[in-house]
Homo-oligomer: A and B are copies of this chain.
Amino acid sequence: MRTHALIAATLGLSLALPVAAQEADERPTPNSVVEGATADEWEAISANDLMVMRLADDAEGNRREVVIQLMPKPFSQGWVDNIRLLAETNFWDGTTVYRVVDNWVTQWGDGEDDKAKAKPLPEGIKVVPESEYVVGDQPEDDHCGYHVCPANRQIKLSEFRTIEPYGTGAISKGWPVAVSGNQVWPTHCYASVGVARDLTPNTGTGAELYTVIGHAPRQLDRNIAVVGRVIEGIEHLSTLPRGKGGAGVYADDMERVPVQWVRMAGDLSEDAHPKFEYLATDSASFTEYVRVRANRSDGFYQVAAGGVDICNVQVPIRRIKAAE
């Protein structure tokens, strides 16, 4: 017999609660809170922050497209600028996904070991200092800047309790971040996109990127630039065969998955241009969504945790339906 209720426990926002569970229990779930949010609680994501990566079709001829949302100011902006430039100059066209490590990352780019053969970077690529991994010196009265909002817009940090060495979890304008003293930095969570690099003090350019396909590697926070997250098509990267070469690089170059092209969404034709919105993280529904996530009490849960890991607070994001 298939057990329904682990199914009901699924947190993926695209998955409706099974009818049986809805009938059995009317207590709110994260999904039901998101479904009940009003239209004005959703905010459109700018085309300037969306990047689309088209991989070669899969073996059955199915299209594989990955949509990445880039981080907003003030986080990692040096690398984000480089990434926009790389997309606008078609740098990634003809590169590959060349490394996949289970419970770690999927990585793509030129992937050429020999510097003499490496694909040249476009002019204007910046070298970004390590200091930009963190945003510091935040004025203490900037209460609604990006980690603490006042009164009715407040997201209580206590509801995002997280591992102290990794900082206190918070949500800033739709993004998970960590806060410690007057410093704030973006966190590595599942589907986060980061900038691969050489040993310190190298910080990477943005030309080689990875996404997290396992448990949040929070030890990388403040050591690598987080520049965005995959918001659609993560399965095209997370289901790829794991690499059997050194460090999970594909042993045979034939295993590499061709990247046909990467474009900023605004540079695609109108019909190919994906549009998304996210549940505003200063909305009443988002606050309720976090409260319910931290205190699951629907028919599946017997014990509520009373808190939630910052990487288990996925910000609700959905496609904007085309007008009829």
Contacts and interface: CB of A to CB of B under 8 A. Distances in A.
Contact of A222 (B222, B247, B302): B302
Interface stretch (A46-54, A257-265, A279-287, A307-315): A307-315
B307 A166 contact: yes
Interface stretch (A74-82, A104-112, A138-146, A148-156): A104-112
A270 to B, nearest CB: 27
A300 B200 contact: yes
Interface string A83-124: 000000000000000110111110101111101001000000
Contacts of A5: 196-200, 202
A273 interface: no
In the complex, the count of this chain's copies comes to: 2
Contacts of A15: 101, 246-248
Interface residues of A, number: 94
A5 to B, nearest CB: 5
A215 B305 contact: no
A235 B101 CA distance: 9
Nearest to A100: B239
A163 B165 contact: no
28 contacts: A1-B110, A1-B115, A2-B110, A2-B112, A5-B197, A5-B198, A6-B105, A6-B224, A7-B249, A8-B247, A10-B247, A12-B103, A15-B246, A16-B246, A18-B246, A18-B247, A102-B238, A163-B307, A163-B308, A166-B305, A189-B215, A200-B301, A215-B312, A218-B305, A219-B296, A219-B312, A221-B303, A239-B240
Given A7-B247, A164-B307, 11 more contacts: A1-B112, A2-B111, A6-B194, A12-B102, A18-B247, A163-B163, A201-B302, A219-B293, A219-B305, A222-B303, A239-B242
Nearest 3 pairs of A and B residues by beta carbon: A165-B307, A7-B247, A1-B118
